[in-house]
Structure 1
């Protein structure tokens, strides 16, 4: 159990980490595709894909034309590979399970090729910079 101000850490054999990323995926042409049922199914697909990478999907939400994910991941995971898998698997399954998507997206892609990925969590950059500056360097 952690306190609100304590960050949860992932312990590996040779590494302790606390890596979090905020991801945003936008539908192709910013088309308004999703309804609540679709977003619920999309969350399950994304959670299952994350598990294959030993990644935790800690938050998920979306609107008709984009989704936000907050993921916690181990250092061995390459974010670009995780993102490609999340987008690829979800696009394939959503288009198969919801054929009506083709009304909005006739070319076969659910997602725009671009995405947003931002690192988050932990101390602010200013706090970290100050901490590193204040280390007792030998003379």
Structure 2
């Protein structure tokens, strides 16, 4: 994990980027499934998936029925594919490793099919809008 307050700029051959997203995954039927031990294992699983995508899991935390992730990702990563993999792999492994999850869920799905993804980091929209508005456009 990278340091929370560090500004990360990712440099590739043809691109410099600083893309961050806040993700929230909710358990199916908002069931209270997780305890601290499960959240620690879930974080490890999500870290492994992120590494496969060359994504940094900057911050992770959760409660009994949902988790929050702050990620930094390269432009080549399609967020919907990353999220599919994060949810799919974690659901499969958590259900396999923690049989008690089946008490709360009937059809084998750990996560609700929906999720929240918000872009974050960098300057505020107001600052960027003003910066773009005040460019020296040729006449």
* TM-score category of the 2 structures, normalised to the smaller one: over 0.9
Query: Equivalences for 1:20-39 in 2 at 5 Å?
Result: 20-39=20-39
Runs of 4+ in 1 over 2 A off after TM superposition: none
Tell me, yes or no, if structure 1 residue 18 matches structure 2 residue 18. yes
- Alignment RMSD (CA, Å): 1.2
TM-score by length of 1: 0.96
For structure 2, list consecutive stretches of 5 or more residues without a partner in the other structure.
Answer: none
Once residues 82 and 102 of structure 1 are traced to their aligned partners in structure 2, the CA distance between those partners, rounded to angstroms, is: 25
TM-score by length of 2: 0.96
**Offset of residue 7 of structure 1:** 2.6
Alignment partner, residue 117 of structure 1:
117
**3-state secondary structure, aligned to 2:108:** coil
Spell out, residue by residue over 1:95-129, the C-alpha distance to the aligned partner (whole angstroms, 9 max, x if none): 00001100000210000000000000000000000
Once residues 81 and 106 of structure 1 are traced to their aligned partners in structure 2, the CA distance between those partners, rounded to angstroms, is: 25
**Offset of residue 8 of structure 1:** 1.8
Aligned residues: 136
Spell out, residue by residue over 1:40-96, the C-alpha distance to the aligned partner (whole angstroms, 9 max, x if none): 000000000000000000000000000000000000000000000000000000000
